[in-house]
Structure 1
Amino acid sequence: MAKKLDLTDLANFDPTPAAAPAASGASAGPVQVPTGDVIPDPKQPRKKFDQDKLEKLAKTIKASRLNQPVTVRPKNADGKYVIVMGERRWRACTLAGLETIPVIFGDKADGYDQVTENTEQEPLTTMELARFIAEKIQEGDKRSYIAERLGMRADAVSQHLALATAPDFIQQLGDDTQIGGRTLYELIQAHKEYPAEVERFAQQPAEEITRASLGRLVEQLRTREALQAEADAQAKAQAKAQAEAKAQQSDNAPGGGQNTGPANQEETTGPKPDGDGHLERPLDLPPPVQTTPVTPESKVQDSGQAWPVVKILVEGRAASLTPTGTVQVVYADTGEIGEVDLSTVQILSVEERRNESS
């Protein structure tokens, strides 16, 4: 005969699930809490979440439930559970429409643990990691400690720290692409030398922005600078040589060099008015009539011939006629006015005429 079961000890059995602990510390196992009572940590390093990946994870959770509980802190003063690790899972559960979510309690995890957990699940963006490192530096953590906690090299920590103050277009690349921290750091350095060129370089597709392509760009720009500097130096030397040759040619030309005679003094100071207030005619009259036409200065200097210097006064300023260009003449036989090339003119004499209307 079968023995009867003794159920007297189950008289006080309560089928209601155990309430989540309110005190700090770790729970022995996962418990179900309302999804709406769970909130993200405002200091969570991850700020961007891929919506497509969240929706894919939500479909998986909806089909087979959440296998890995979310780690939360015990209830705060507002009655909410702050997420320590697992914000992506919580967001996916919310998308899946789950009313409750399995959680475990623990308040010993910190930001470094969140970064590590994110790296194992889905890495942070380069800029998210850079901003986290900058925040920890501001809180007083040493770079060596940060490197140890995150499993990074010390130089990689310094490179990410530099990104926190990088130009906006570089930070945007760190937020929106998978470009690594070292490549972005080298972009910063190149931008200091060639800002316009690097900004144009950064506008191409992200997959083409690599350390190798950036290195080629910088090498090309430095080569161009070197060639330009060499060309500028050659042009400067050539201009100096031409100036020296011109000065030497001027010194060797007839009438060249220093001249302290009356003609030179008059050219410098200009004619002076006489007692009646009229300007005196320059004392250096042109030489006797030439039998050959006046030729341009350059041709005269090359041939060694002399050419007359005709002193004039233009609105009170002393000047001289150049042996080139055109001049208006009045023909004595007909009174006709014409314009001729000055190089074809022979100077016969110089007369001074007063303005009869003055």
Structure 2
Amino acid sequence: MSYAQKLDDVALLLDELEGLEPAVGSGAALEIALSQIEEDPGQPRRNFDKAALEELAASIRERGLLQPIGVTKKQESGKHRIVFGARRFRAASLAGLRTIKAMIQAGQPDDPYDQMVENIQRDDLSATEIAAFIEARLRAGEKQKDIARRLAKSKGFVAMHASIGQMPQVLRDKLSASPLRAVYELYQLWKRDAARVEEFCTQHESFTRPQAEAFIEAASAKPNQNDDAEPAEHIFRGEPPLPQPTKDETKHGAAGLPEGEFVPAAQRKSASEVIMRVHHEQRGGRLILGRVSKRGSHFGIVVFDDHGDEAQVLLAELALVEIRMREPL
């Protein structure tokens, strides 16, 4: 084969390789033109702080982009779609870059959880943005437990965010400056006492979780208990209440007691007790069934095994691990 023929073969090979996609998942960052990249219209992040973008753009001008973004292979539009790094992409555009370091991601490019998990790990999303994603997955027919598993979060995390859409505006307005858990606990009280919670929100631009808990405990306190109310232990054990003593209608009844005295009720045998074992934040304990939490019906009282301390915990955050019976002595 002549030298000229070898050159022709090399040129033909280069023509065939031109335009081919680089190896997916090779680990090497590529320089891709910004004009060849598009943002994902379904990305969970909706709000980008303008000042923060300008600061990042200034840093990119000074030091360059330190971490590549992630993109898919070219879509039908002929462009790569961002999997993660939309904020860096926008800042690079502000910085005047024409290309950006990017890594082509393997796997399913349309998996809605890719960007969500990446943003949650970076703590880049607001509570309302996470809530919008979870609501979309619920509308798609997914279960809360499956969403929690795919996000690598607790069921309580998903339940709290899923409730944001049902919260009144006065509580949703507090999410930008107050912890979600505190707002969620106030929402449980709002269902029973809306006026009081709304007054609290009017008086506080923002609040911490201890502040919210103190208010909830004070608002839920019931100094005048109804003596005729059925004891909580009977409600949980499914047993009828003990018979109440009755007054003797005659001066000397069959019991031989003077008028106005009470006839003692017959002694009953102790019933078997239900034991409910639970886990909360890697701690084991027992859910107390005979007492009602002062913080509302969405809370339970747990006695933890390690130190024997009691805590009032959101039921949505508890994992039930065992139900058994303890027989009476």
Q: Which residue of 2 aligns with 1:211?
A: 209
Q: Deviations over 1:218-273 (max 9, x none)?
A: 343345x757x9xxxxxxxxxxxxxxxxxxxxxxxxxxxxxxxxxxxxxxxxxxxx
SS in 2 for 1:21: coil
Root-mean-square deviation (CA, aligned residues, Å) is 3.4
SS in 1 for 2:166: coil
Could you say if the C-alpha distance between residues 149 and 74 of structure 1 is closer, same or farther in structure 2, counting changes exceeding 3 Å?
Answer: same
Could you say if the C-alpha distance between residues 63 and 73 of structure 1 is closer, same or farther in structure 2, counting changes exceeding 3 Å?
Answer: same
Verify the 8 A CA contact 2:71 2:83 in the aligned structure 1.
yes
Could you say if the C-alpha distance between residues 19 and 120 of structure 1 is closer, same or farther in structure 2, counting changes exceeding 3 Å?
Answer: farther
Could you say if the C-alpha distance between residues 136 and 220 of structure 1 is closer, same or farther in structure 2, counting changes exceeding 3 Å?
Answer: same
What does residue range 1-358 of structure 1 map to in structure 2 within 5 Å? 19=19, 21=21, 25-26=24-25, 29-106=28-105, 108=108, 110-174=111-175, 176-177=176-177, 179-204=178-203, 206=205, 208-223=206-221
Q: Deviations over 1:156-186 (max 9, x none)?
A: 2112211122212322333x33x33322211
Verify the 8 A CA contact 1:40 1:82 in the aligned structure 2.
yes
Could you say if the C-alpha distance between residues 101 and 163 of structure 1 is closer, same or farther in structure 2, counting changes exceeding 3 Å?
Answer: same
Task: Give the letter for the 2:151 counterpart.
Answer: L
SS in 2 for 1:117: helix
Which 5+ residue runs of structure 2 have no aligned equivalent? Answer: 1-5, 227-329
2:78 & 2:157 partners in 1: Cα distance? 40
Could you say if the C-alpha distance between residues 71 and 204 of structure 1 is closer, same or farther in structure 2, counting changes exceeding 3 Å?
Answer: farther
Q: Deviations over 1:124-162 (max 9, x none)?
A: 111111221121122222222222222221122112211
Q: Deviations over 1:167-217 (max 9, x none)?
A: 12322333x33x3332221121121222223223224555x4233222332
Verify the 8 A CA contact 2:179 2:209 in the aligned structure 1.
no
2:139 & 2:33 partners in 1: Cα distance? 36
Task: Give the letter for the 1:36 counterpart.
Answer: S
Could you say if the C-alpha distance between residues 94 and 20 of structure 1 is closer, same or farther in structure 2, counting changes exceeding 3 Å?
Answer: farther
Note the C-alpha offset of 1:87. Answer: 0.6
SS in 1 for 2:66: coil
Identity %: 31
1:153 & 1:124 partners in 2: Cα distance? 17
The number of residue pairs the alignment matches comes to 216
Say which structure, 1 or 2, has more relative contact order (CA 8 Å, 6+ apart).
2
Task: Give the letter for the 2:156 counterpart.
Answer: D
Larger radius of gyration: 1
1:39 & 1:205 partners in 2: Cα distance? 42
Greater Cα offset, 90-99 or 179-188? 179-188
Could you say if the C-alpha distance between residues 49 and 78 of structure 1 is closer, same or farther in structure 2, counting changes exceeding 3 Å?
Answer: same
2:144 & 2:124 partners in 1: Cα distance? 21
Could you say if the C-alpha distance between residues 99 and 151 of structure 1 is closer, same or farther in structure 2, counting changes exceeding 3 Å?
Answer: same
Task: Give the letter for the 1:149 counterpart.
Answer: R
Task: Give the letter for the 1:165 counterpart.
Answer: Q
2:74 & 2:126 partners in 1: Cα distance? 30
Q: Deviations over 1:92-125 (max 9, x none)?
A: 1011111111222225353322122113334311
Could you say if the C-alpha distance between residues 213 and 169 of structure 1 is closer, same or farther in structure 2, counting changes exceeding 3 Å?
Answer: same
TM-score, normalization by structure 2 = 0.56
SS in 2 for 1:164: helix
- Which structure shows the bigger proportion of residues in strand conformation? 2
Could you say if the C-alpha distance between residues 18 and 197 of structure 1 is closer, same or farther in structure 2, counting changes exceeding 3 Å?
Answer: farther
Could you say if the C-alpha distance between residues 46 and 66 of structure 1 is closer, same or farther in structure 2, counting changes exceeding 3 Å?
Answer: same
Verify the 8 A CA contact 1:20 1:33 in the aligned structure 2.
no
SS in 2 for 1:197: helix
1:94 & 1:203 partners in 2: Cα distance? 41
SS in 2 for 1:202: helix
TM-score, normalization by structure 1 = 0.52
Q: Which residue of 2 aligns with 1:256?
A: none
SS in 1 for 2:81: strand
Note the C-alpha offset of 1:57. Answer: 1.4
1:147 & 1:81 partners in 2: Cα distance? 29
